[in-house]
Amino acid sequence: MDRIAVVSLGGTIAMGHRGPDGLTVSLGANDFAHALARPDLSFTGVDLCSRDSSELSARDLSDLVTTLTRLGDEGIHHVIVTTGTDSMEEVAFALERLAPASARVVVTGAMRAPTLDSHDGPANLRAALSVLTSAASRDLGVVVVMNDEIHGADLVRKSHATSTASFTSYPGALGWVGDGVALLVNRPATRRARLEGPLDPAARHVALVTTYLGDEGRTLHALGEGSLDGLVIEAFGSGRLTPHAADAALTLAQRLPVVVASRTGAGLLEHSTYSAPGSESRLLAGGVLSAGWLTGVQARVLLELALRTGYSARLAELFAEFQI
């Protein structure tokens, strides 16, 4: 008999109660396991926390990784993680770096709460289970299953505030769920930037800022005056900053890791195309790292996790894995 764990963190999928201040979590892992019950499967429910995903912390991530390791030690390698959609792409991206290699992990949630007739949680849970139990979906790494689509953890993003079709991938989903089975049309080429070290539960202060037309670099200067462990800057297009922002970024890069990602949300940064004062060539020559094709949000997670797992001397190598 296949053993499956449902690990619940909260989120809209679990918000079955509407109080005077709005939705609150009232459902947990055992409710989801009960909804999925099948005679050929045995379910274990783990309630890790009951929060809106805007409230998840660095420690929740390390508790999640510890839980996956413990479940693996108990012989449970198939896991559905339920969480809020707002930070789901970060949870999935982090798990792709840190989940035990033997774990098959599907992350899911809901855009519409159980208090609504149009609640999408039950369908998403069933689709997640279909993916976990389909032989075709082995070796995909961590995936997000929402709205019957299967998304790779390194490609997925929440791209609409309220739509049930909010989750998309660039350049596309890995497949979809139809008739209770996973249909795969794409496969990730490899698992990138796996982090082996134990994850320090303490957060690192890794900030994420976006540049803009006329950016005078003041935000970067102000950040530099605080206690910062690392910085990700969402740059224009394929990697440029305004001249002032570039100066500030280069100053900061002399004492802490600074990474540029594209604020466009997709595509590979360039290395030596333009000659503007804030060009990618000048930034990279001054020690700023390129996030490759990672979004700013993903690059921020990677940088923080790398610092929490003792990879600070190998940051360039880690980010290089997203440039090939």
In DSSP notation, 21-86 reads TEEE----HHHHHHHH--TTEEEEEEEEEEE-GGG--HHHHHHHHHHHHHHHHTT--EEEEE--ST
Judged by CB, which is closer to ligand ASP: 110, or 245? 110
Query: CA 37, CA 39: separation in Å to the nearest integer?
Result: 7
Q: CB of 109: closest distance to ligand ASP in angstroms?
A: 5
Looking at 79-87, 146-154, 251-259, 290-298, which segment touches ligand ASP (CB under 6 A)? Answer: 79-87
Strand order in the sheet with 175-178: 41-51, 2-10, 78-82, 104-108, 143-146, 149-152, 175-178, 181-184
Binding to ligand ASP by residue 84, rule CB under 6 A? yes
Q: CB of 166: closest distance to ligand ASP in angstroms?
A: 8
Judged by CB, which is closer to ligand ASP: 86, or 200? 86
- Facing residues of 46 across strands? 7
Considering only residues 85, 137, 169, 295, which one is a binding residue for ligand ASP as defined by CB under 6 A?
85
Query: Could you say which residues in the range 102-161 bind ligand ASP, by CB under 6 A?
Result: 109, 111
Query: Could you say which residues in the range 2-41 bind ligand ASP, by CB under 6 A?
Result: 11-12
Do 124 and 80 form a contact (C-beta atoms < 8 A)?
no
Judged by CB, which is closer to ligand ASP: 166, or 309? 166
Return phi, psi of residue 79, to 5°: -135, 130
Q: Cα(first)–Cα(last) distance of the chain, in Å?
A: 40
Binding to ligand ASP by residue 175, rule CB under 6 A? no
Q: CB of 11: closest distance to ligand ASP in angstroms?
A: 4
Looking at 72-80, 84-92, 138-146, 256-264, which segment touches ligand ASP (CB under 6 A)? Answer: 84-92
Task: Print the binding letters for residues 36-75 with ligand ASP: x by CB under 6 A, - otherwise.
Answer: ----------------xx----------------------
- Facing residues of 82 across strands? 8, 108
HSE at residue 211, side-chain half, CA atoms within 13 A, is 33
Other C-beta atoms lying within 10 Å of the C-beta of residue 142: 27
Residues of this chain that interact with ligand ASP (CB under 6 A) are: 11-12, 52-53, 84-86, 109, 111
